[in-house]
């Protein structure tokens, strides 16, 4: 399969019950490369509330999507991912919780995020030679809603504003929702997903993913954190 962009994700373990539920919730299994049936939830149009994040699959972004720099290859990127993972240790946190981030819902970690943020920084920095510079139009589009000075500096240097000091690990569960839908959806997730969430929460590997021509992301390979 040919991909237009690549990214480094944390992809939850496929065999975990919370992963299975949340993958079906979103409706796209990036590891299997297939759509899946949404759970039926009274009072919530699951397909509608997950329409925007569906194509990305269940994930947390560690290095945002990028086009390959001229002269680079997917084989070289894969080798670099393997090398990076071999130098990084697994991260362990106390758990995950369902939170509101503005008008959308996500999972956020509970506990000390220092090791997790260090891992994300390494992904952004150490693989950046593979990233083609973002087109000017893309930079302008990201500035429309306003960025802090730090976020704008990140955008210029790393191609994305919410990295390094502005990084906030999260696993997206919905698009932007109005207040009634936000409340109903959070209540449904609290009842059905929250009891499945892991304690502790571990990040044991990184995933290289690719964006297909239809915009959906597919898992290419996992790399165990063995440093």
Q: Is 224 helix (H, G, I), strand (E, B) or coil?
A: strand
Q: What is the pLDDT of residue 8?
A: 98
Backbone angles phi, psi at 213, to 5 degrees: -60, -25
Which tens digits make up the pLDDT trace of 45-73?
A: 999 999 999 999 999 999 999 999 999 99
Cα–Cα distance measured from residue 13 to residue 31, given in angstroms and rounded to the nearest whole number: 10
Torsion angle in degrees (nearest 10) through CA of 171, 90, 197, 14? 80
Which tens digits make up the pLDDT trace of 4-17?
A: 999 999 999 999 99
Give the helix, strand, coil percentages of the chain, each rounded to 5: 35, 25, 35
Q: What is the pLDDT of residue 138?
A: 87
Q: Is 186 helix (H, G, I), strand (E, B) or coil?
A: helix
On whether the pTM is more than 0.85, the answer is yes
In the chain the domains, ranked by start, together with CATH numbers, are 5-224 (3.90.1140.10)
Cα–Cα distance measured from residue 187 to residue 193, given in angstroms and rounded to the nearest whole number: 10
Which tens digits make up the pLDDT trace of 167-177?
A: 999 999 999 99
Check pLDDT > 90 for residue 145.
Answer: no
């Amino acid at each position: 399969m040919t991909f237009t962009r690549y990214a480094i994700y944390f992809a939850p373990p496929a065999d975990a019950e919370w992963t299975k539920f949340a993958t079906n919730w979103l409706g796209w299994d990036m590891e299997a490369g297939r759509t899946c049936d949404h759970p039926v939830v009274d009072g919530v149009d699951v397909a509608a509330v997950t329409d925007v994040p569906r194509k990305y699959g269940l994930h947390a972004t560690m290095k945002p999507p990028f086009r390959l720099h001229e002269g680079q290859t997917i084989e070289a990127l894969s080798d670099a991912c393997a090398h990076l993972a071999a130098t990084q240790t697994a991260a362990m946190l106390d758990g995950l919780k369902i939170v509101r981030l503005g008008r959308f819902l996500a999972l956020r970690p509970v506990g000390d995020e220092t090791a997790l943020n260090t891992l994300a920084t390494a992904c952004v920095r150490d693989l950046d030679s593979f990233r083609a510079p973002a087109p000017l139009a893309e930079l302008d589009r990201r500035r429309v809603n306003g960025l802090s000075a730090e976020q704008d500096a990140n955008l210029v240097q790393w191609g994305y504003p919410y990295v390094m000091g502005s990084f906030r690990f999260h696993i997206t569960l919905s698009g932007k929702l109005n207040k009634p839908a936000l409340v109903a959806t959070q209540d449904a997730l609290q009842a059905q997903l929250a009891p499945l969430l892991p304690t502790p929460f571990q990040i044991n590997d990184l995933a290289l993913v690719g964006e297909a021509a239809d915009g959906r992301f597919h898992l290419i390979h996992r790399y165990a954190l063995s440093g």
